[in-house]
Structure 1
Amino acid sequence: MPLYLIGLGLTPDSISLKAINIIKNCSKVFLDAYTSILVSYEEMTKLMTEVLNRNDLIQADRTLVERDAGQILNPAKDSDVAFLVVGDALCATTHSDLYLRAVQEGIQVKVLHNASIINAVAGTGLEIYKFGRTISVPFFEEKWKPVSFITKTIENFQMGMHSLLLMDIKTKELDWKLYMRGIERYQNPRYMSCAVCCQQFVDVLNTDNDADLSVETKQDFEEIRIHAAKAGFSVDSKCVACMRVGTDDQKFIYCSIGEMAKLTEHMGAPLHSLVVLGNIVSDMEQEMLNLWKL
């Protein structure tokens, strides 16, 4: 029996008729609840109840998907099972991993694709074929400040390619300090905003806050600054904040990275993605971008 990996699109009502008909006949239905939250468990439960007349949606957190995938795969050995994913079904490596594990266990897998931020970002007016490598941006922590996302952004910039940056989300993260004391408790959810992402660019590209950094982190930051200077990339480089794309509350903001870092009050609710422009922008792209100036 198949395991169906079903892309939901960007909102609950983006689900296809084909997907609805498949879900009706599935013994179990899981919703990926950690790679994205634009479609909430509550929204999908409501949709399942109203449209499909069933109230047995299972919320699949990170532990279930990555460590306890048997709870998803085992039922698919003798019945139809649906795994619902926000956006497209295979845009996250986690879902490709689930696909591979299913195949290894002799389970047939069928995929239903849908719209995702990867193609919906064309709503900014930027030409979709001019995007380079898609980049994930992690939260900076006190003692961990990875800078590879800036390196990759600069590489795209130098080639005249725009960069789509996907913001970090933390929906069910264990509080390790409490866990070491035998208490299992989870941190409050955190969703990176475009302002926070741009502030991390500013922290790396400017030297104002270097005094509190470790020697190793200072060295990493300095290497990035040299690379950026050679490429003509700086906090004055332009970007577009893409907020709640595909929803009725969709919003774009166009300005420099440095300006974006200061716009915390303009961000609104998650989910956010950021586009950093390449060093070549066409006249038509610029006309579209001007629509999103504050």
Structure 2
Amino acid sequence: MKPTALPLLDKHLRHIDVLPTEVRRLFHGRGQCFPGLEHISVDWLSGQVLISLFKEPEVGFIDALNVLVAGWLQLPLWQSEVKSVLLHHRSRDNCELQVLWGALSNEQVVQENELTYLLDLGNKQNNGLFLDMRCGRSWVKSHASGKSVLNLFAYTCGFSVAAIAGGAKQVVNLDMAKAALSKGRENHRANNHDLTKVKFLGHELFKSWGKVRKFGPYDLVIIDPPSFQKGSFALTKDYKKILRRLPELLTEQGQVLACVNDPSLNAQFLIDEMAEQAPNMVFVERLDNPPEFADINPEASLKSLLFTQRA
């Protein structure tokens, strides 16, 4: 990231005349649409502005960025709406979070699609809600009524919150990170959801098929894995192990929302894997990504693909 590219970021943010009422990405450099700013993003977290660096910048970049921040804070909109400006060094080992201005609120309450989510800000890789998945959560909310849902790699249960809000009769969340599931339980409570409809399984998936089948069959299975999780999941090797289990998990009209967020893999990877491992599943459509996540190469961005059982 070059200091000479920062005027592009300055121009982009100064053109925003209204800040969103809900959580949103304000600047998506990772879409490769802004030369020299490919490793920076800016998110609006309902009062806190989070600037994330995904690569160590060139000398002088941080100083130049601080000058820009000082200028933004003179804008009437920022003076009335912004409570703090944070800089997250995602590429550093400790994921250092700096407060450039204001005071850090470690727990941030945000809204998305009229639902409440609790974010954890600090020296960690992720804050609890992947903003590029907004359209996926919206789709689930709109299509979950009366359904039994299995949410694999549930993390903080964003899909689960959307499903229960949409009228799902049951959601089973599975993730080996029990702390993330605990935050998911808090997310449901923040929305006054009936927790008797929600299950939280803190297990490694490949050792827990019996537990997963116990609560099935499912009308909708959501698969949103990490690209790589040390010791437990490697996407290109392990995704197929999940897909071949789908026949024993799904109802006759069951659907699958399968996701990949690895820029090196395109949508066809999922379509081909599904055809090989679960040939009774038919590809229906790829869900849109939020418009603020525009990417010069759409195949490098989030892929959320919907499949359904063959009639």
The TM-score, its normalising length taken from structure 2, stands at 0.34
Structure showing the higher helix proportion among its residues: 1
The TM-score, its normalising length taken from structure 1, stands at 0.35
Structure showing the higher strand proportion among its residues: 2
